[in-house]
Structure 1
Amino acid sequence: MPATPVARHSLYLKVRDRASYEFALASVAAALSVVDGTVADLRVALGGVATKPWRARRIEDFLIGAPANRDAFAQAARGELADARPTLMNAFKVELARRTVVRALETLVGDTGRSPA
């Protein structure tokens, strides 16, 4: 199956507690296309923060057409995780996931050779 144009520029970012642990505390798989400082296309999936990975459609819907910058990425991540229902033992994962989303998207923007808007 051929890759979609957006998948040609992608990243998987895994945050884990220690190098010896294999499981992710949070992970983000993202593909991003930026044109003239604006998000043209985007796919995001989150893992490690719930019982199963999921496609982050709120992030995608919010960011397509938005500036490709930290503020927009952070706002999109907050929206995606607004309904999270963490337990006492895993509440830290919500903020970790937010930060991981922002880091992944900023990394992709930097890798395109374009500076964030």
Structure 2
Amino acid sequence: MTHQQEPGDLEKRRRDLEAALALRKPKVPSDAGGAKTGGVGGFGNALRLSSEFIAGILVGAGLGWFIDRMAGTSPWGLIIFLLLGFGAGILNVLRSAGLVAEFGSKAPEKGGSDPREKK
């Protein structure tokens, strides 16, 4: 038994499907900054985070190389400070992303405002 569908049935099903999809579509906030917030803003954030990570590694490697040259401890200073630079780079990225609080800062009180804000 094959059931042939009328063109009107297909059009009704298409409209019903569009209506159902429109209900499930996430709402876009009206104050969104347009196309710039999605693509370019994310790219800039990625560049900032990656440069902080690479800077930590380069500073650690440079300090290790310098200490090896002055103290004659090659390659141990480079190895140790390269690992320390790697850890510092990860910490810098986490701080910039807002996943780790700054050293010495207190968590905001439950009352509302951030204690670091000046009144």
Same fold? TM cut 0.5: no
Structure number with bigger Rg = 2
What is the TM-score of this pair, normalised by structure 2?
Answer: 0.30
